Structure 1
Amino acid sequence: METARAPETPARASLPEDLCRQMGEWRHDLHRNPELGFSEKRTSGIIAAHLRSAGIAVHEGVGGTGIVGVLQRGTGSGAIAIRAEMDALPIPEENDFGYASATPDTMHACGHDGHASMLLGAALYLARQGTFDGTAVFIFQPDEENGRGARAMISDGLFERFPIDAIYALHNLPGLAPGRVAVRSGAVMACEDTFRIELTGKGTHAAMPHRGVDPIVAGAQVVSALQTIVSREMDPVESAVVSVTDFMTSGVRNVIPGQVVITGDARSYSPQTGDVIDAAMRRIASGIAAAHRAECAVRYNREFTATINTPREADIVARLAATLFGADEVDADCPPLLASDDFGAFLEHRPGAYFFLGNGTDGSNGRALHNPRYDFNDDILARGAEFWTRLIETRLPA
């Protein structure tokens, strides 16, 4: 397979110190004032105001609270998009630093405050002194955490209103050394499917089980049998996970309940694998329910599509990162993760690449994403913004 030509990096210094300082200030402000998906009104307002101040055309309300900034230079017809998320998580923060969340039960536990800040910094630099020929499109997306924001923007005509040739995104990764880049061609993040299995029996006194139909016994067997889907239904070389995450009943100490609800999560790297899991789950749950004289209803929902990088764009990321930061700082064939990101929905429509930027291995920077003591690493803001500015300048050369 032919690989993309290594980008020629424009010769210039790193981002100005005042811009790097501003990115840190924006990040702390967003962290202190987190907003959940489709409620990012303050966040999107701040971003829109900064973009306008730099002369960037701003389109608000795309897909709800989404923001699209458009910056055109010269007469080039090429257009490259970069996406960052804006939403926080419904998690109470346990950090005690000065910019900790001031919103109860809500925090930026995934680093979207950092992603948005570095993209905003890159956009302002490009507007003020960037050298490129074409159109840079800056996408600030709502509601990534629930997997609805990307599709909302697409349904709102994102690609028709803002034609682009390719789209890129990054995500910080705790456990990876600060600023190190990891990318791969093909599947880099998984599908996420959710399921709900409802078993209906006949409630009765705990001392008289023969007078009822016990959905707990049936449900317990369903939970155990679901573990055979990956081990016995899937090709061993395929990666998949089926996890039961809740088992709910209406019973009390001396009452066998009439209903059990089992919910959970399934991950894989292709819709075809999801089809196998879906069909097997329905067959297993229905068969066990019938054996126990219970009724069964299964809902299997496709929440996130897999994030699948196109080979050329993944190669562009790896080569540019190696040019900017050194080959030793880049893993061009990193293992895929079974976590999910709705950036995959964009990649169903346009070529592009999603990559990881190391957040650190120590302290709050090394804690897992979605952990109440996690924090984005301010030291990687400049590296992320620098990458975005050079990507635009190399993909849209003047």
Structure 2
Amino acid sequence: MPVINSIAALEPEMREWRRWLHRNPELQFDLPKTAGFVAEKLRAFGVDEIHEGIAQTGIVAIIKGRGPGPTIGLRADMDALPIHEASGVEHASETPGKMHACGHDGHTTMLLGAAKYLAETRNFSGRVALIFQPAEEGGGGGEVMVREGIMDRFEIAQVYGIHNAPNFAEGAFYTTPGPIMAAVDTFHIDITGKGGHGAMPHETRDPIVAALGIGQAIQTIVSRNHYALDELVVSVTQIHAGTADNIVPGTAYLGGTVRTFDPVVQDMVERRLSEIAAGQGASYGVSAICRYERGYPATVNDAERARFAAEVAADVVGAARVTPDAGREMGAEDFSYMLNARPGAYLFLGAGPGPVLHHPEYDFNDAVAPVGASFFARAVEMAQPL
């Protein structure tokens, strides 16, 4: 079966929804307009239940099938990013400094398209729980929704999610059993020395020199402290110090990101960062303290559900356009919390050529929205047939 005909016919309407969402981006948990738009559409579709205010602005909507059975969860994220849009499109963000640079407007649209179809046809048993999640971009909205009990409250047995993938073949699907995205942690290193006149550095304890030494030493964690075939990223992404060219500052700061799949590797990186900061700091006569913050865990697909998801994708776009063992990547996703709570799978949907995610010129490709919506709809019908 290709893209569902009635969903394909929805493409002009879905494009309108998506572009309204794109013009009206909101951040993290503060999504009153976005959540209101979603709830309004769900009511118009005739879903059976709408539960609002979960994780502040999240929504879970229930559609009942034509017979008894379990509940399958489908998730879309709704929040935008704090980026000033430079796409130049007619439907560009109307809020300076905020834009849908990751395609969550498209993800929401895909789930709305599936909701409309499923509410009209109900060719499945049991129930479907439509999960519209806030705060994927750093707020951990997925964790909050799980912590607030959506899996038990709505008796969700399995759960699926999709992310668009620019510069992958348009309309093709990619997934993998086991880990598909990395855990993400953040480190902060605060360096305290002794400031003074730039012409008399011998009277100071220069935190900038120490910061440079620490930044260089951190590179040895990947090159010398772990097995070369284990995936690991440790990136210094921030260095801040100083206010003028003739002043040695008293403090400096380094920060960055860590991406791992193995908790043992994660523990090693946390330990080595503290050791390197303290040791390098001492060698330069300064204090260097590392604060390590654990973020989203690795996104791990259930092997059987990943296989099923690939079958569903093949049903929609054909087996030749599905890669069921695409491997893992070092990005991160808070859908991981939902997969930790229930078995399920996460997939990537190719969006064709264009700017990458989180780029100010990015725009979701509306042509793939019916493909994603058809995947969601067929996942329900194939998992819970009448």
Please, what TM-score do these two structures have when normalized by structure 2? Answer: 0.97
Structure 2 partner of 1:394: 382
Distance 1:73 1:164 in 2: 14
Distance 1:12 1:353 in 2: 20
Match of 1:137 among 109, 129, 134: 129
Structure 2 partner of 1:384: 372
Match of 1:375 among 353, 363, 366: 363
How far residue 296 of structure 1 moved from its aligned partner, in angstroms, is: 1.7
**Can you list the C-alpha shifts for 1:100-138, whole angstroms capped at 9, x where unaligned?**
111111111100000000101101110011300101000
Match of 1:313 among 281, 293, 305: 305
Structure 2 partner of 1:339: 331
Counterpart amino acid of 1:323?
A: D
- The runs of 5 or more residues in structure 1 that have no matched partner are 1-8
Structure 2 partner of 1:186: 178
Structure 1 partner of 2:28: 37
Distance 1:303 1:141 in 2: 17
SS of 2:156's partner is: coil
CA contact (8 A) 1:151 1:345 kept: yes
Structure 1 partner of 2:78: 86
Structure 2 partner of 1:271: 263
Structure 2 partner of 1:52: 43
How far residue 379 of structure 1 moved from its aligned partner, in angstroms, is: 0.6
Q: How does 1:64-213 map to 2 (within 5 A)?
A: 64-213=56-205
Structure 1 partner of 2:293: 301
Are 1:25 and 2:16 matched, yes or no? yes
Q: How does 1:341-356 map to 2 (within 5 A)?
A: 341-356=333-348
How far residue 18 of structure 1 moved from its aligned partner, in angstroms, is: 4.6
Distance 1:383 1:164 in 2: 24
Q: Which region of structure 1 is more displaced relative to structure 2, 81-90 or 48-57?
A: 48-57
Distance 2:95 2:53 in 1: 23
**Can you list the C-alpha shifts for 1:68-114, whole angstroms capped at 9, x where unaligned?**
00111234231100100000011111122211111111111100000
**Can you list the C-alpha shifts for 1:341-393, whole angstroms capped at 9, x where unaligned?**
110111111101000000002xxxx2100011111111111111111111101
Counterpart amino acid of 2:57?
A: T
Distance 1:13 1:50 in 2: 20
Counterpart amino acid of 2:132?
A: F
CA contact (8 A) 2:78 2:104 kept: yes
Distance 1:16 1:175 in 2: 24
Counterpart amino acid of 1:230?
A: V
Structure 1 pair 129–321 and aligned structure 2 pair: CA distance change class (3 A): same
Match of 1:243 among 226, 231, 235: 235
SS of 1:267's partner is: strand
- The runs of 5 or more residues in structure 2 that have no matched partner are none
Structure 1 pair 14–112 and aligned structure 2 pair: CA distance change class (3 A): same
Distance 1:85 1:154 in 2: 14
Distance 2:337 2:265 in 1: 17
Distance 2:172 2:313 in 1: 9
How far residue 17 of structure 1 moved from its aligned partner, in angstroms, is: 5.0
Q: Kindly, what percent of the aligned residue pairs are identical?
A: 43
CA contact (8 A) 2:169 2:350 kept: yes
Distance 2:162 2:154 in 1: 20
Distance 1:272 1:27 in 2: 42
Counterpart amino acid of 1:145?
A: E
Q: What is the aligned-residue RMSD (CA, Å)? A: 1.4
How far residue 160 of structure 1 moved from its aligned partner, in angstroms, is: 2.2
**Can you list the C-alpha shifts for 1:299-346, whole angstroms capped at 9, x where unaligned?**
111121111101011000111212221111011111311111110111
Structure 1 pair 199–17 and aligned structure 2 pair: CA distance change class (3 A): closer
CA contact (8 A) 1:202 1:257 kept: yes
Match of 2:6 among 7, 12, 15: 15
How far residue 148 of structure 1 moved from its aligned partner, in angstroms, is: 1.5
**Can you list the C-alpha shifts for 1:30-50, whole angstroms capped at 9, x where unaligned?**
001111111111111111111
Q: How does 1:218-257 map to 2 (within 5 A)?
A: 218-257=210-249
How far residue 16 of structure 1 moved from its aligned partner, in angstroms, is: 4.5
How far residue 215 of structure 1 moved from its aligned partner, in angstroms, is: 1.1
How far residue 12 of structure 1 moved from its aligned partner, in angstroms, is: 9.9
Distance 1:63 1:209 in 2: 52
How far residue 200 of structure 1 moved from its aligned partner, in angstroms, is: 0.4
Counterpart amino acid of 1:253?
A: D
How far residue 21 of structure 1 moved from its aligned partner, in angstroms, is: 1.8
Distance 1:18 1:193 in 2: 43
Distance 2:45 2:350 in 1: 29
Structure 1 pair 240–147 and aligned structure 2 pair: CA distance change class (3 A): farther
Distance 2:133 2:4 in 1: 30
Structure 1 pair 184–13 and aligned structure 2 pair: CA distance change class (3 A): closer
